[in-house]
Copies of this chain bind each other. A is one copy, B any other.
Amino acid sequence: MKKHFEPVGCDVDLATGAMTNATGSYEKRFGDLAGLYGDEAAFQRMRAEWGDKVVYAVSDFRPSDRAGDVIFGVTRMVPGKVGDEFFITRGHIHQQTDRPEIYYGQKGKGLMLMESPEGETRIVEIEPLTCCYVPPYWIHRSVNTGPEELVMLFCYPADSGQDYAIIERSGGMRSRILDDGAGGWKVVENPNWRPRDEAALAAVYASSKKDAA
């Protein structure tokens, strides 16, 4: 008899972002995010108090890294701002760049900030019960624009991988999400952003495996 992978039920705890039967988890602390925010002086001022605090945490279930399988999990972000800029995750494009991702809001409010390799920005606001589809090739980062924790489920193809360096190489994402001073958010251009050149774009599109074409 063929031996099959065993089915599993994972119970999500919205208060902690933990999930029973998770196969892994990680935490990011404020101090891990040096260089991410536009207002470096504000970041340094916050460091003494915030440096060791967990600002986001992820629990996931990874049955395999096989093409055709899926990975899912929970992400929990604390609320806050560095200067006027709302707390963000590090952000990534998939290493296998043509892989999509789904995010499903469960608590708090925020948005998915997306950037195409060519530098177009897209934003999808996420509240509880919003399911956001991040299509292939979009760099994406979560932003907590609310006063409470932002908790989302996510699901992506198991062979996607994450490439975080693409954002650093461009001097950050092109858009930043700031407090608009009226209870909402606004988009501002990141003056340090550098467009990807032809070679960088070619590398993005070369990293999709042929079997996914």
Contacts and interface: CB of A to CB of B under 8 A. Distances in A.
Contacts of A209: 68
Interface in A78-125: 96, 98-100, 102, 104, 112, 114, 116-118, 120, 122, 124-125
Interface in A2-23: 2, 4-14, 19
Nearest to A122: B7
Interface in A106-156: 112, 114, 116-118, 120, 122, 124-127, 129-138, 153, 155-156
A157 interface: yes
Question: How many copies of this kind of chain does the complex include?
Answer: 2
Contacts of A153: 104, 131
A124 B72 contact: no
Contact of A6 (B63, B68, B135): B135
Contact of A7 (B2, B12, B114): B114
A114 B7 CA distance: 8
Contact of A8 (B127, B133, B159): B133
B133 A7 contact: yes
Given A68-B67, A68-B96, A104-B153, A133 B4 contact: no
Given A12-B129, A12-B131, A14-B129, A112 B157 contact: no
A213 B79 CA distance: 42
A198 interface: no
Contact of A133 (B10, B14, B99, B127): B10
8 contacts: A2-B137, A7-B122, A10-B131, A14-B129, A67-B67, A68-B96, A69-B100, A72-B155
Interface of A: 1-2, 4-14, 19, 61, 63, 66-70, 72, 96, 98-100, 102, 104, 112, 114, 116-118, 120, 122, 124-127, 129-138, 153, 155-157, 159, 201, 205, 209, 211-212
